[in-house]
Chain A
Protein backbone atom coordinates (compact mmCIF):
# COMPACT_ATOMS: atom_id res chain seq x y z
CA UNK A 1 0.00 0.00 0.00
CA UNK A 2 1.35 3.37 -0.97
CA UNK A 3 0.71 6.15 1.51
CA UNK A 4 1.63 9.63 0.41
CA UNK A 5 3.76 11.71 2.73
CA UNK A 6 1.12 14.37 2.41
CA UNK A 7 -1.47 12.16 4.08
CA UNK A 8 0.85 11.59 7.02
CA UNK A 9 1.62 15.30 7.23
CA UNK A 10 -2.08 16.09 7.14
CA UNK A 11 -2.76 13.61 9.89
CA UNK A 12 0.06 14.96 12.02
CA UNK A 13 -0.94 18.57 11.48
CA UNK A 14 -4.54 17.73 12.25
CA UNK A 15 -3.61 16.01 15.51
CA UNK A 16 -1.29 18.86 16.46
CA UNK A 17 -3.89 21.54 15.80
CA UNK A 18 -6.58 19.57 17.57
CA UNK A 19 -4.33 19.11 20.60
CA UNK A 20 -3.32 22.76 20.58
CA UNK A 21 -6.91 23.95 20.38
CA UNK A 22 -7.95 21.56 23.13
CA UNK A 23 -5.13 22.89 25.33
CA UNK A 24 -6.13 26.49 24.70
CA UNK A 25 -9.74 25.73 25.50
CA UNK A 26 -8.95 23.70 28.58
CA UNK A 27 -5.93 25.39 30.14
CA UNK A 28 -6.01 29.10 29.40
CA UNK A 29 -8.16 31.89 30.79
CA UNK A 30 -9.34 32.97 27.37
CA UNK A 31 -10.25 29.37 26.56
CA UNK A 32 -12.30 29.10 29.71
CA UNK A 33 -14.00 32.37 28.83
CA UNK A 34 -14.73 31.09 25.34
CA UNK A 35 -16.38 27.99 26.71
CA UNK A 36 -18.34 30.07 29.19
CA UNK A 37 -19.51 32.37 26.41
CA UNK A 38 -20.55 29.38 24.32
CA UNK A 39 -22.56 27.90 27.18
CA UNK A 40 -24.36 31.09 28.16
CA UNK A 41 -23.27 34.33 26.56
CA UNK A 42 -25.34 36.59 28.77
CA UNK A 43 -24.31 34.99 32.04
CA UNK A 44 -20.68 35.06 30.94
CA UNK A 45 -20.91 38.80 30.30
CA UNK A 46 -22.50 39.34 33.69
CA UNK A 47 -19.58 37.52 35.27
CA UNK A 48 -17.11 39.87 33.67
CA UNK A 49 -16.11 38.06 30.51
CA UNK A 50 -15.18 40.70 27.98
CA UNK A 51 -17.40 39.67 25.10
CA UNK A 52 -15.62 41.52 22.32
CA UNK A 53 -12.26 40.18 23.35
CA UNK A 54 -13.53 36.61 23.41
CA UNK A 55 -15.18 36.92 20.01
CA UNK A 56 -12.08 38.55 18.55
CA UNK A 57 -9.82 35.83 19.89
CA UNK A 58 -12.10 33.05 18.67
CA UNK A 59 -12.26 34.66 15.24
CA UNK A 60 -8.48 34.98 14.99
CA UNK A 61 -7.97 31.42 16.24
CA UNK A 62 -10.39 30.13 13.62
CA UNK A 63 -8.53 32.14 11.00
CA UNK A 64 -5.16 30.69 12.00
CA UNK A 65 -6.52 27.14 11.92
CA UNK A 66 -8.10 27.77 8.53
CA UNK A 67 -4.82 29.15 7.20
CA UNK A 68 -2.97 25.96 8.11
CA UNK A 69 -5.69 23.86 6.53
CA UNK A 70 -5.56 25.95 3.35
CA UNK A 71 -1.84 25.30 3.13
CA UNK A 72 -2.41 21.54 3.17
CA UNK A 73 -5.42 21.81 0.90
CA UNK A 74 -3.52 23.64 -1.82
CA UNK A 75 -0.90 20.89 -1.80
CA UNK A 76 -3.43 18.09 -2.09
CA UNK A 77 -5.65 19.86 -4.64
CA UNK A 78 -3.33 22.04 -6.67
CA UNK A 79 -6.14 23.88 -8.48
CA UNK A 80 -6.59 27.11 -6.54
CA UNK A 81 -9.48 29.47 -7.23
CA UNK A 82 -10.80 32.34 -5.08
CA UNK A 83 -13.73 30.19 -3.95
CA UNK A 84 -12.06 26.79 -3.75
CA UNK A 85 -12.37 26.71 0.02
CA UNK A 86 -16.09 27.37 0.09
CA UNK A 87 -17.34 23.83 -0.44
CA UNK A 88 -15.02 22.42 2.20
CA UNK A 89 -16.02 25.16 4.65
CA UNK A 90 -19.72 24.59 4.14
CA UNK A 91 -19.32 20.84 4.51
CA UNK A 92 -17.24 21.39 7.65
CA UNK A 93 -19.90 23.65 9.14
CA UNK A 94 -22.56 21.08 8.38
CA UNK A 95 -20.40 18.40 9.98
CA UNK A 96 -19.74 20.47 13.08
CA UNK A 97 -23.43 21.17 13.60
CA UNK A 98 -24.23 17.53 12.89
CA UNK A 99 -21.86 16.46 15.66
CA UNK A 100 -22.63 19.27 18.08
CA UNK A 101 -20.98 22.61 17.45
CA UNK A 102 -20.56 23.84 21.01
CA UNK A 103 -17.93 21.28 22.01
CA UNK A 104 -14.56 20.65 20.41
CA UNK A 105 -14.88 16.86 20.63
CA UNK A 106 -18.38 16.56 19.26
CA UNK A 107 -17.73 19.06 16.47
CA UNK A 108 -14.57 17.17 15.44
CA UNK A 109 -16.42 13.85 15.51
CA UNK A 110 -19.16 15.43 13.38
CA UNK A 111 -16.55 16.56 10.89
CA UNK A 112 -15.25 13.00 10.59
CA UNK A 113 -18.78 11.65 10.30
CA UNK A 114 -19.77 13.95 7.42
CA UNK A 115 -16.54 12.99 5.66
CA UNK A 116 -17.37 9.30 6.06
CA UNK A 117 -20.95 9.82 4.90
CA UNK A 118 -19.81 11.63 1.77
CA UNK A 119 -17.19 9.05 0.81
CA UNK A 120 -19.32 6.01 1.66
CA UNK A 121 -22.28 7.34 -0.32
CA UNK A 122 -19.94 8.22 -3.17
CA UNK A 123 -18.68 4.64 -3.31
CA UNK A 124 -21.71 2.58 -2.41
CA UNK A 125 -24.57 4.22 -4.30
CA UNK A 126 -25.58 2.33 -7.47
CA UNK A 127 -24.55 4.15 -10.64
CA UNK A 128 -28.14 5.06 -11.47
CA UNK A 129 -28.31 7.05 -8.24
CA UNK A 130 -24.72 8.26 -7.99
CA UNK A 131 -25.55 11.74 -9.27
CA UNK A 132 -27.90 12.13 -6.32
CA UNK A 133 -25.20 11.55 -3.69
CA UNK A 134 -25.50 15.19 -2.55
CA UNK A 135 -29.22 14.73 -1.98
CA UNK A 136 -28.62 11.53 -0.01
CA UNK A 137 -25.87 13.12 2.08
CA UNK A 138 -28.04 16.05 3.06
CA UNK A 139 -31.02 13.76 3.58
CA UNK A 140 -28.96 11.92 6.19
CA UNK A 141 -27.99 15.28 7.71
CA UNK A 142 -31.65 16.31 8.03
CA UNK A 143 -32.60 12.99 9.62
CA UNK A 144 -29.74 13.23 12.10
CA UNK A 145 -30.64 16.79 13.06
CA UNK A 146 -34.28 15.81 13.56
CA UNK A 147 -33.26 13.01 15.90
CA UNK A 148 -30.68 15.03 17.82
CA UNK A 149 -30.95 18.78 17.14
CA UNK A 150 -28.16 19.65 19.57
CA UNK A 151 -25.77 17.34 17.73
CA UNK A 152 -25.28 13.59 17.45
CA UNK A 153 -22.35 13.59 19.86
CA UNK A 154 -23.70 16.12 22.30
CA UNK A 155 -23.93 14.69 25.79
CA UNK A 156 -27.20 13.00 26.61
CA UNK A 157 -29.45 14.75 29.04
CA UNK A 158 -28.87 18.03 27.25
CA UNK A 159 -32.25 17.57 25.65
CA UNK A 160 -33.58 19.91 23.05
CA UNK A 161 -37.07 19.79 24.49
CA UNK A 162 -38.10 23.24 25.57
CA UNK A 163 -38.24 23.70 29.27
CA UNK A 164 -40.58 26.28 30.66
Chain B
Protein backbone atom coordinates (compact mmCIF):
# COMPACT_ATOMS: atom_id res chain seq x y z
CA UNK B 1 0.00 0.00 0.00
CA UNK B 2 2.78 2.36 1.00
CA UNK B 3 4.69 1.47 -2.14
CA UNK B 4 1.65 2.19 -4.30
CA UNK B 5 1.07 5.59 -2.77
CA UNK B 6 4.71 6.56 -3.17
CA UNK B 7 4.50 5.56 -6.82
CA UNK B 8 1.65 7.98 -7.14
CA UNK B 9 3.87 10.71 -5.77
CA UNK B 10 5.94 10.41 -8.92
CA UNK B 11 2.81 10.63 -11.06
CA UNK B 12 2.03 14.18 -9.95
CA UNK B 13 5.22 15.87 -11.22
CA UNK B 14 5.27 13.75 -14.39
CA UNK B 15 1.65 14.63 -15.07
CA UNK B 16 2.39 18.33 -14.64
CA UNK B 17 5.32 18.08 -17.05
CA UNK B 18 3.15 16.31 -19.63
CA UNK B 19 0.36 18.86 -19.22
CA UNK B 20 2.79 21.75 -19.73
CA UNK B 21 4.14 20.04 -22.86
CA UNK B 22 0.64 19.41 -24.21
CA UNK B 23 -0.51 22.98 -23.63
CA UNK B 24 2.72 24.17 -25.22
CA UNK B 25 2.11 22.06 -28.31
CA UNK B 26 -1.11 23.95 -29.04
CA UNK B 27 0.58 27.37 -29.07
CA UNK B 28 2.45 29.23 -31.77
CA UNK B 29 6.13 28.56 -32.39
CA UNK B 30 7.30 31.66 -30.56
CA UNK B 31 5.05 31.14 -27.53
CA UNK B 32 6.16 27.53 -27.44
CA UNK B 33 9.62 28.70 -26.38
CA UNK B 34 8.10 29.83 -23.06
CA UNK B 35 6.91 26.31 -22.41
CA UNK B 36 10.21 24.75 -23.48
CA UNK B 37 11.97 27.15 -21.12
CA UNK B 38 9.61 26.09 -18.35
CA UNK B 39 10.41 22.41 -18.94
CA UNK B 40 14.16 23.03 -19.03
CA UNK B 41 13.77 25.02 -15.79
CA UNK B 42 11.98 22.03 -14.27
CA UNK B 43 15.03 19.89 -15.06
CA UNK B 44 17.43 22.45 -13.55
CA UNK B 45 15.32 22.95 -10.42
CA UNK B 46 14.93 19.19 -9.91
CA UNK B 47 18.72 19.02 -10.09
CA UNK B 48 18.90 21.64 -7.33
CA UNK B 49 16.25 19.83 -5.32
CA UNK B 50 17.99 16.44 -5.37
CA UNK B 51 20.81 17.95 -3.36
CA UNK B 52 19.29 20.82 -1.43
CA UNK B 53 15.94 19.19 -0.68
CA UNK B 54 17.32 15.88 0.48
CA UNK B 55 20.46 17.09 2.23
CA UNK B 56 19.04 20.30 3.68
CA UNK B 57 22.28 22.07 2.76
CA UNK B 58 22.26 25.23 0.71
CA UNK B 59 24.24 25.30 -2.52
CA UNK B 60 24.82 28.19 -4.88
CA UNK B 61 27.02 26.01 -7.06
CA UNK B 62 24.66 23.70 -8.94
CA UNK B 63 24.44 26.07 -11.90
CA UNK B 64 28.14 25.43 -12.54
CA UNK B 65 27.17 21.86 -13.43
CA UNK B 66 24.50 23.23 -15.73
CA UNK B 67 27.24 25.36 -17.28
CA UNK B 68 29.70 22.53 -17.89
CA UNK B 69 26.86 20.36 -19.22
CA UNK B 70 25.82 23.13 -21.60
CA UNK B 71 29.37 23.72 -22.85
CA UNK B 72 30.09 20.02 -23.21
CA UNK B 73 26.89 19.30 -25.14
CA UNK B 74 27.24 22.46 -27.21
CA UNK B 75 30.88 22.01 -28.21
CA UNK B 76 30.45 18.35 -29.06
CA UNK B 77 27.48 18.87 -31.37
CA UNK B 78 28.92 21.69 -33.48
CA UNK B 79 30.04 19.97 -36.71
CA UNK B 80 33.86 19.66 -36.85
CA UNK B 81 34.05 21.64 -40.09
CA UNK B 82 32.99 25.06 -38.74
CA UNK B 83 34.40 24.24 -35.32
CA UNK B 84 38.01 24.64 -36.57
CA UNK B 85 37.15 28.17 -37.67
CA UNK B 86 35.04 29.48 -34.83
CA UNK B 87 36.96 27.82 -32.00
CA UNK B 88 40.56 27.74 -33.23
CA UNK B 89 42.23 27.35 -29.82
CA UNK B 90 39.92 24.63 -28.56
CA UNK B 91 41.51 21.49 -27.14
CA UNK B 92 42.11 19.23 -30.14
CA UNK B 93 40.07 16.33 -28.76
CA UNK B 94 37.00 18.58 -28.54
CA UNK B 95 37.82 20.09 -31.90
CA UNK B 96 38.06 16.82 -33.80
CA UNK B 97 35.07 15.01 -32.38
CA UNK B 98 31.39 15.62 -32.84
CA UNK B 99 28.51 13.53 -31.66
CA UNK B 100 24.75 13.45 -32.20
CA UNK B 101 22.06 14.99 -30.09
CA UNK B 102 21.26 12.19 -27.65
CA UNK B 103 24.89 11.19 -27.00
CA UNK B 104 25.70 14.84 -26.35
CA UNK B 105 23.03 14.97 -23.65
CA UNK B 106 24.38 11.78 -22.08
CA UNK B 107 27.88 13.27 -22.13
CA UNK B 108 26.55 16.48 -20.57
CA UNK B 109 25.04 14.47 -17.72
CA UNK B 110 28.27 12.51 -17.32
CA UNK B 111 30.48 15.59 -17.28
CA UNK B 112 28.14 17.27 -14.79
CA UNK B 113 28.27 14.22 -12.52
CA UNK B 114 32.04 13.92 -12.74
CA UNK B 115 32.58 17.60 -11.98
CA UNK B 116 30.14 17.44 -9.07
CA UNK B 117 31.91 14.37 -7.71
CA UNK B 118 35.32 16.03 -7.86
CA UNK B 119 34.04 19.23 -6.27
CA UNK B 120 31.90 17.36 -3.76
CA UNK B 121 34.62 15.16 -2.28
CA UNK B 122 36.21 18.06 -0.39
CA UNK B 123 33.17 20.34 -0.16
CA UNK B 124 30.62 17.95 1.28
CA UNK B 125 32.30 18.18 4.66
CA UNK B 126 30.91 21.68 5.02
CA UNK B 127 27.44 22.70 6.06
CA UNK B 128 25.52 25.85 6.82
CA UNK B 129 26.73 29.18 5.55
CA UNK B 130 30.27 27.95 4.87
CA UNK B 131 28.81 25.37 2.45
CA UNK B 132 26.86 28.16 0.77
CA UNK B 133 29.95 30.33 0.35
CA UNK B 134 32.15 27.44 -0.80
CA UNK B 135 29.64 26.34 -3.46
CA UNK B 136 29.27 29.96 -4.51
CA UNK B 137 33.04 30.02 -4.91
CA UNK B 138 32.77 27.00 -7.21
CA UNK B 139 30.29 28.89 -9.36
CA UNK B 140 32.57 31.94 -9.57
CA UNK B 141 35.55 29.77 -10.49
CA UNK B 142 33.58 27.92 -13.14
CA UNK B 143 32.32 31.13 -14.71
CA UNK B 144 35.79 32.64 -14.63
CA UNK B 145 37.49 29.63 -16.21
CA UNK B 146 34.81 29.18 -18.88
CA UNK B 147 35.21 32.85 -19.75
CA UNK B 148 38.99 32.96 -20.05
CA UNK B 149 40.31 29.52 -20.92
CA UNK B 150 40.15 29.19 -24.71
CA UNK B 151 41.00 25.47 -24.62
CA UNK B 152 37.56 24.60 -23.30
CA UNK B 153 35.35 27.53 -24.32
CA UNK B 154 35.25 30.46 -26.77
CA UNK B 155 37.81 33.18 -26.10
CA UNK B 156 37.14 35.88 -23.49
CA UNK B 157 33.55 34.98 -22.82
CA UNK B 158 32.32 35.22 -26.38
CA UNK B 159 29.16 33.39 -27.34
CA UNK B 160 29.39 29.71 -28.17
CA UNK B 161 27.12 29.60 -31.17
CA UNK B 162 26.21 27.29 -34.08
CA UNK B 163 24.87 24.67 -31.67
CA UNK B 164 22.05 22.64 -33.30
CA UNK B 165 18.69 23.55 -31.76
CA UNK B 166 17.26 20.13 -31.08
CA UNK B 167 15.43 20.83 -27.83
CA UNK B 168 11.80 21.09 -28.76
CA UNK B 169 8.86 20.41 -26.50
CA UNK B 170 9.36 16.66 -26.74
CA UNK B 171 13.02 16.66 -25.82
CA UNK B 172 12.53 19.18 -23.02
CA UNK B 173 9.63 17.19 -21.58
CA UNK B 174 11.54 13.91 -21.88
CA UNK B 175 14.52 15.46 -20.10
CA UNK B 176 12.33 16.84 -17.32
CA UNK B 177 10.61 13.46 -16.88
CA UNK B 178 13.98 11.69 -16.69
CA UNK B 179 15.10 14.21 -14.07
CA UNK B 180 11.91 13.64 -12.05
CA UNK B 181 12.27 9.87 -12.36
CA UNK B 182 15.89 9.89 -11.17
CA UNK B 183 15.02 12.21 -8.29
CA UNK B 184 12.07 10.07 -7.27
CA UNK B 185 13.91 6.77 -7.42
CA UNK B 186 16.77 8.26 -5.45
CA UNK B 187 14.62 9.65 -2.68
CA UNK B 188 12.76 6.35 -2.37
CA UNK B 189 15.90 4.27 -1.98
CA UNK B 190 17.80 3.53 1.19
CA UNK B 191 20.50 6.02 0.19
CA UNK B 192 18.02 8.86 -0.18
CA UNK B 193 16.26 8.03 3.06
CA UNK B 194 19.52 7.97 4.99
CA UNK B 195 20.33 11.41 3.67
CA UNK B 196 16.89 12.74 4.56
CA UNK B 197 17.35 11.31 8.02
CA UNK B 198 20.56 13.31 8.37
CA UNK B 199 18.67 16.40 7.24
CA UNK B 200 16.05 15.98 9.96
CA UNK B 201 18.40 15.20 12.81
CA UNK B 202 22.10 15.21 12.28
CA UNK B 203 23.04 13.73 15.62
CA UNK B 204 20.46 10.94 15.47
CA UNK B 205 21.54 10.05 11.95
CA UNK B 206 25.18 9.92 12.99
CA UNK B 207 24.07 7.81 15.92
CA UNK B 208 22.54 5.13 13.72
CA UNK B 209 25.69 5.07 11.63
CA UNK B 210 24.82 7.26 8.64
CA UNK B 211 27.94 8.35 6.80
CA UNK B 212 26.69 11.87 6.11
CA UNK B 213 29.64 12.86 3.97
CA UNK B 214 29.12 9.89 1.66
CA UNK B 215 25.34 10.28 1.42
CA UNK B 216 25.68 13.98 0.62
CA UNK B 217 28.28 13.17 -2.00
CA UNK B 218 25.91 10.69 -3.66
CA UNK B 219 23.14 13.30 -3.80
CA UNK B 220 25.54 16.00 -4.98
CA UNK B 221 26.81 13.80 -7.82
CA UNK B 222 23.29 12.83 -8.88
CA UNK B 223 22.34 16.48 -8.74
CA UNK B 224 25.36 17.23 -10.92
CA UNK B 225 24.23 14.65 -13.47
CA UNK B 226 20.71 16.07 -13.64
CA UNK B 227 22.06 19.62 -13.81
CA UNK B 228 24.46 18.63 -16.60
CA UNK B 229 21.61 17.07 -18.55
CA UNK B 230 19.55 20.23 -18.01
CA UNK B 231 22.48 22.28 -19.30
CA UNK B 232 22.55 20.12 -22.43
CA UNK B 233 18.84 20.71 -22.93
CA UNK B 234 19.36 24.44 -22.41
CA UNK B 235 22.15 24.84 -24.96
CA UNK B 236 20.19 22.83 -27.51
CA UNK B 237 17.18 25.07 -26.91
CA UNK B 238 18.94 28.41 -27.33
CA UNK B 239 21.50 27.27 -29.91
CA UNK B 240 24.21 29.31 -28.19
CA UNK B 241 25.54 29.98 -24.72
CA UNK B 242 27.64 32.51 -22.82
CA UNK B 243 29.07 32.10 -19.32
CA UNK B 244 26.79 34.89 -18.10
CA UNK B 245 23.68 32.95 -19.14
CA UNK B 246 24.60 30.14 -16.79
CA UNK B 247 25.88 32.25 -13.93
CA UNK B 248 24.68 34.14 -10.92
CA UNK B 249 21.36 35.31 -12.33
CA UNK B 250 20.22 31.81 -13.27
CA UNK B 251 21.39 30.60 -9.86
CA UNK B 252 19.17 33.06 -8.03
CA UNK B 253 16.19 32.56 -10.34
CA UNK B 254 16.23 28.77 -10.05
CA UNK B 255 16.79 28.95 -6.28
CA UNK B 256 13.76 31.22 -6.07
CA UNK B 257 11.74 28.70 -8.09
CA UNK B 258 12.70 25.92 -5.71
CA UNK B 259 11.99 27.94 -2.58
CA UNK B 260 8.66 29.25 -3.87
CA UNK B 261 7.55 25.74 -4.77
CA UNK B 262 8.84 24.13 -1.59
CA UNK B 263 12.43 23.00 -1.08
CA UNK B 264 11.63 19.66 0.46
CA UNK B 265 9.56 17.95 -2.21
CA UNK B 266 9.93 16.92 -5.82
CA UNK B 267 6.40 18.15 -6.39
CA UNK B 268 7.37 21.53 -4.95
CA UNK B 269 10.40 21.77 -7.23
CA UNK B 270 8.28 20.99 -10.28
CA UNK B 271 5.43 23.35 -9.39
CA UNK B 272 7.78 26.20 -8.51
CA UNK B 273 9.78 25.84 -11.72
CA UNK B 274 6.71 25.72 -13.97
CA UNK B 275 4.93 28.63 -12.27
CA UNK B 276 7.83 31.04 -11.92
CA UNK B 277 9.32 30.23 -15.31
CA UNK B 278 6.04 30.75 -17.18
CA UNK B 279 5.31 33.89 -15.18
CA UNK B 280 8.80 35.22 -15.93
CA UNK B 281 8.54 34.49 -19.66
CA UNK B 282 5.09 35.99 -20.03
CA UNK B 283 5.95 39.08 -18.01
CA UNK B 284 9.04 39.65 -20.17
CA UNK B 285 6.91 39.22 -23.26
CA UNK B 286 4.41 41.76 -21.94
CA UNK B 287 7.12 44.36 -21.89
CA UNK B 288 7.05 44.13 -25.69
CA UNK B 289 3.28 43.85 -25.83
CA UNK B 290 1.35 40.66 -25.16
CA UNK B 291 -1.94 39.94 -26.90
CA UNK B 292 -4.54 38.75 -24.43
CA UNK B 293 -7.73 38.03 -26.33
CA UNK B 294 -9.03 41.44 -27.33
CA UNK B 295 -6.56 43.80 -25.82
CA UNK B 296 -2.83 44.17 -25.87
CA UNK B 297 -0.99 44.33 -22.59
CA UNK B 298 2.17 46.38 -22.58
CA UNK B 299 4.17 46.73 -19.40
CA UNK B 300 6.77 49.45 -18.92
CA UNK B 301 10.33 48.24 -19.34
CA UNK B 302 11.67 46.68 -16.17
CA UNK B 303 8.24 46.03 -14.70
CA UNK B 304 8.58 42.29 -15.28
CA UNK B 305 11.31 41.84 -12.71
CA UNK B 306 9.46 44.06 -10.27
CA UNK B 307 6.20 42.11 -10.55
CA UNK B 308 8.03 38.79 -10.37
CA UNK B 309 9.78 39.90 -7.20
CA UNK B 310 6.57 41.13 -5.57
CA UNK B 311 4.73 37.92 -6.49
CA UNK B 312 7.47 35.73 -5.09
CA UNK B 313 7.73 37.76 -1.88
CA UNK B 314 3.94 37.59 -1.40
CA UNK B 315 3.92 33.84 -1.95
CA UNK B 316 6.67 33.35 0.61
CA UNK B 317 5.05 35.61 3.20
CA UNK B 318 1.79 33.68 2.84
CA UNK B 319 3.43 30.26 2.61
CA UNK B 320 6.92 30.37 4.10
CA UNK B 321 7.54 26.70 3.38
CA UNK B 322 6.66 27.08 -0.28
CA UNK B 323 3.44 26.60 -2.19
CA UNK B 324 3.44 22.87 -1.58
CA UNK B 325 4.64 23.21 2.00
CA UNK B 326 7.42 20.85 1.04
CA UNK B 327 5.04 17.90 0.74
CA UNK B 328 4.66 15.44 -2.09
CA UNK B 329 1.24 15.13 -3.68
CA UNK B 330 -0.05 11.61 -4.22
CA UNK B 331 -2.90 12.83 -6.46
CA UNK B 332 -5.25 12.50 -3.50
CA UNK B 333 -7.75 15.17 -2.58
CA UNK B 334 -6.44 18.11 -0.60
CA UNK B 335 -6.42 17.80 3.16
CA UNK B 336 -9.44 19.98 3.83
CA UNK B 337 -11.64 17.84 1.58
CA UNK B 338 -10.66 14.43 2.87
CA UNK B 339 -11.56 14.13 6.51
CA UNK B 340 -11.41 10.59 7.65
CA UNK B 341 -10.14 10.54 11.20
CA UNK B 342 -7.22 8.26 11.84
CA UNK B 343 -5.98 8.05 8.28
CA UNK B 344 -3.79 11.09 8.41
CA UNK B 345 -0.23 10.72 9.59
CA UNK B 346 0.42 12.47 12.86
CA UNK B 347 1.34 16.07 12.29
CA UNK B 348 4.84 16.85 13.43
CA UNK B 349 5.05 20.29 14.97
CA UNK B 350 7.50 22.31 12.99
CA UNK B 351 9.68 24.95 14.47
CA UNK B 352 10.95 27.66 12.22
CA UNK B 353 14.57 28.14 12.90
CA UNK B 354 17.00 30.34 11.04
CA UNK B 355 19.73 28.81 8.97
CA UNK B 356 22.37 27.52 11.28
CA UNK B 357 25.37 29.71 10.63
CA UNK B 358 28.05 27.82 12.45
CA UNK B 359 27.97 24.30 13.78
CA UNK B 360 27.70 24.31 17.53
How many angstroms between the C-alpha atoms of A101 and B356 in the bound complex?
A: 12
How many angstroms between the C-alpha atoms of A90 and B137 in the bound complex?
A: 11
- Total number of A-B contacts with CB less than 8 angstroms? 88
Complex contact A132–B125 (CB within 8 A) = no
Known: A102-B357, A134-B140, A154-B358. A97 touches B145 (CB 8 A): no
Out of A42, A97, A131, A139, name the residue touching B129 (CB < 8 Å): A97
What is the CB-to-nearest-CB distance from B197 to chain A, in angstroms, rounded to a whole number?
A: 14
Complex contact B133–A94 (CB within 8 A) = yes
Complex contact B141–A138 (CB within 8 A) = yes
Cβ-based interface call for A150 (8 A) = yes
Complex contact B122–A146 (CB within 8 A) = yes
Out of A40, A94, A160, A162, name the residue touching B136 (CB < 8 Å): A94
Cβ-based interface call for A105 (8 A) = no
Is the contact region of chain B dominated by helix, strand, or loop, or is it mixed? helix
Chain A 20-32, CB within 8 Å of chain B: the 1/0 string? Answer: 0000000000000
Cβ-based interface call for A36 (8 A) = no
Out of B137, B351, B353, B359, name the residue touching A162 (CB < 8 Å): B359
Complex contact B144–A132 (CB within 8 A) = yes
Categorize the interface residue count of chain B: 20 to 34
Complex contact B359–A150 (CB within 8 A) = yes
Residues of B within 8 A of A150 (CB): 130, 358-359
Residues of A within 8 A of B202 (CB): 162
What is the CB-to-nearest-CB distance from A159 to chain B, in angstroms, rounded to a whole number?
A: 9
Cβ-based interface call for B46 (8 A) = no
Complex contact B359–A41 (CB within 8 A) = no
Cβ-based interface call for B297 (8 A) = no
Complex contact B203–A162 (CB within 8 A) = yes
On B, residues with C-beta under 8 Å from A are 122-123, 125-130, 132-134, 136-138, 140-141, 143-145, 147-149, 156, 202-203, 206-207, 351, 353-354, 357-360
